[in-house]
Structure 1
Amino acid sequence: MSVKTLRKIPLERFVDLKVDYAFKQFFGTEQNKNITVAFLNAILNRTGHNAINEISFMRQEFGSEHVDDKQSRLDILVKTQNDLFINVEIQLTNQYDMMKRTLYYWSRIYTSQLRKGMGYHKLRPTITINICNFSLFEQTDNYHSIFQLYDNFEKFKMDDVLEIHFIDMNKFIKQWYAKQLNSCKNVLAKWLMLIGMVDGRKEKVYEEIYLELEELAMKDEELFNAFNVWQDLSRSPEDYYAYQSRLKYILDEAAKLEDTKYIAEKEGLLKGFERGIEQGIEQGIEKGIEKGIEKGIEQGIEQGIAQGIEQGIKHGEKKKQTEIALKLLRRNTDVETIVELTELTVTEIEQLKGLLD
């Protein structure tokens, strides 16, 4: 092996493997199955008789059982020689739903094994691996967190059916630069260096990581082969165009989400309806006093203020929800997102759209 055969393209040409299109082309295809097997063994720390030797790629989309069910589109789903199901998800940007999304995907995969007349004892363990380009857990500096079902007091495992991994690429890169990792002995570190070397969002390549990867690849056949596959993917005109299109879409959606979040926070939607509550209390007191006079000074004021405050708060909240919805509609935000942010109904939002026409 020579450096010349390893380095074939400029550094800036390498695709970011954290972009789901590139990730799936690299780790989720039949021709790269050996790379996927080595990667999974590194994450799950499986060696010897416990190692994964063979995988089958499974369909990535779960159909809905009912008309209104949500569709599930997975990045990579494989089944091992021991009928172990492994789902690998890559996330370049934070959509603020990672925990619940992970549990939902895990449950769909786990329960999909069950067929009519099949006993529960035949259900096989399901593993979910999330590789995130953002931090989820402030409680730890570890870049690799593993969750299973344990007793809170004695810490013994209930069962091995659930295993969820989170890999924090930001923490990994930070530890690598702090020289806290021994990449010669840490098998997973080699693969994470490969995934973390390019930052598509910042249009940046970590050349220091490349130089170490290049040196490691000279001694590691699996890494050497993976490096060449990565270069072939990066220099393919069709794949590179698809990668760039997907990266742009992801960044545009992330920007929209941040804009929406900023507007909602600015208007007080996510931080509470302080302004609406204040107005509601003022209106509520006024109405409460008026009602109290009619029914009797002492009893009326007491009951009227309570009911008035409640009605006033609701009125203030509704008014603020409507104002936020109108602003989001003017920014062409989709109806589903507005429903989630304002808790207005689809019908109410459609009526508001009519006001803008």
Structure 2
Amino acid sequence: MSKRALRRIPLEKLMDLKVDYAFKQLFGSEKNKEITVVFLNAILQKTGRDPIREIVFINQEVGGQFVGDKQSRLDIVVRTQTDDFINIEMQLSNQNDMVKRTLYYWSRLFSEQLRRGEVYQDLRPTITINICDFTLFSQTDYYHSTYHLYEDTVLKRLHPEDDVLEIHFIEMKKFIQAWHEETLDPWDDLLVRWLLLLGMVDARKQRVYDEIYKELEALAMKDERLMEAFEAWDELSATPEMRMAYTSRLKTILDTESKLRYAMMKGEEKGREKGREEGREEGREEGIREANKNTIFNGYRNGLDVTTLSMLTGYSEKEVENIIESFEEEEE
């Protein structure tokens, strides 16, 4: 393969693979299954699991068995040759609910394995991998964190034989920082080269890291799967229909981020103003309540739905609806 295979389109036209649509098109496609297997093994080698040899992409919806159940569409879900389940989630924006959302996704994927007549012993290990383009755990510099169920005192795993729960968080901001500090070696670490692939394009900054491209270009001459990933990425980015879908998805994400920032800013301003006026503890508490109420109403007027506002403020969806109604009544 020649180096020209990496650059059939200009670098600035490549999709940001941290946008969930682009990520799913590359790593959730049957034709790219071997790429996905290599990528998953690069992540799971940290916890000493046996290498994955084969995967099957499965239904990506969890929940919804009963009326009123919350239903969620997962990014990528696979079943391995040993019947382990793996969910991979790409999150570009911090919605301030990542940990609880992860536990919800894991629990539904774990529990929905059982069919009528099956027993609990049939439940297979379930792994969730979260790739976040934001800092989630500010107390540590590690960009790759893993979690299991442990006993608090002796730190013994609850179910060491097959580790039914395993959760990974990969924080791309920390990873890129470590790359700039030259503490990473993609020639010796398979995961580093794949994360460099994800981090090479930054759609928010409208930037391509040329130094990362040059490193990956050299690596791809020796790594067949990495070369295949580049070619698939190039083809994906050059397809007009996929380009349009990607652009639409990116705009939705950035618009939602902007609305959240604006709603929180306006709510905080109102809360501080109210707190200064009162000047007492009661005033500060009232200021916080006013901040949350203004956050809800400003967010609602800027297009955020009730569920998102509930997660943002901690109010129930019914309380959010009541607050919106009260503001609308005042405006009439």
Give the TM-score normalised by structure 2. Answer: 0.89
Shift of 1:61: 1.2
The runs of 5 or more residues in structure 2 that have no matched partner are none
- The answer for the alignment partner of 2:65 in structure 1 is 65
- The answer for the alignment partner of 2:217 in structure 1 is 214
Letter of the 2:195 counterpart = L
The runs of 5 or more residues in structure 1 that have no matched partner are 283-312
Residue pair 1:41, 1:47 contacting (<8 A) in 2 also? no
Distance 1:336 1:353, change over 3 A: farther
Distance 1:324 1:39, change over 3 A: closer
Q: Equivalents in 2 of 1:325, 1:176: separation in Å?
A: 39
* Cα-to-partner distance string for 1:247-271 (whole Å, 9 max, x where unaligned): 1110000111111121222222xx8
Alignment match of 2:250 (pick from 247, 264, 286): 247
Q: Equivalents in 1 of 2:93, 2:320: separation in Å?
A: 28
Shift of 1:48: 11
More relative contact order, 1 or 2 (CA 8 Å, 6+ apart): 2
* Cα-to-partner distance string for 1:221-240 (whole Å, 9 max, x where unaligned): 11111111111111111111
- Determine what percentage of the aligned residue pairs are the same residue: 51
- The answer for the alignment partner of 1:116 in structure 2 is 116
Q: Equivalents in 2 of 1:281, 1:14: separation in Å?
A: 53
Distance 1:29 1:352, change over 3 A: same
Q: Equivalents in 2 of 1:17, 1:317: separation in Å?
A: 38
Letter of the 1:353 counterpart = E
- RMSD of Structure 2 on Structure 1 (CA): 2.8
Q: Equivalents in 1 of 2:128, 2:314: separation in Å?
A: 32
Shift of 1:339: 5.0
Distance 1:355 1:193, change over 3 A: same
Q: What does 1:1-357 correspond to in 2, within 5 Å?
A: 1-45=1-45, 50-159=50-159, 160-268=163-271, 274=275, 327-338=298-309, 341=313, 343=315, 344-356=319-331
Shift of 1:278: 5.3
Q: Which stretch shifts more, 37-46 or 59-68?
A: 59-68
Give the TM-score normalised by structure 1. Answer: 0.83
* Cα-to-partner distance string for 1:181-216 (whole Å, 9 max, x where unaligned): 111110001100110000011100000000010000
Distance 1:30 1:346, change over 3 A: same
Q: Equivalents in 2 of 1:175, 1:322: separation in Å?
A: 40
Q: Equivalents in 1 of 2:115, 2:73: separation in Å?
A: 21
Distance 1:342 1:79, change over 3 A: closer
Shift of 1:63: 3.9
Secondary structure of residue in 2 paired with 1:89: strand
Residue pair 2:259, 2:299 contacting (<8 A) in 1 also? no
Distance 1:40 1:272, change over 3 A: farther
Secondary structure of residue in 1 paired with 2:148: strand
Q: Equivalents in 1 of 2:198, 2:297: separation in Å?
A: 41
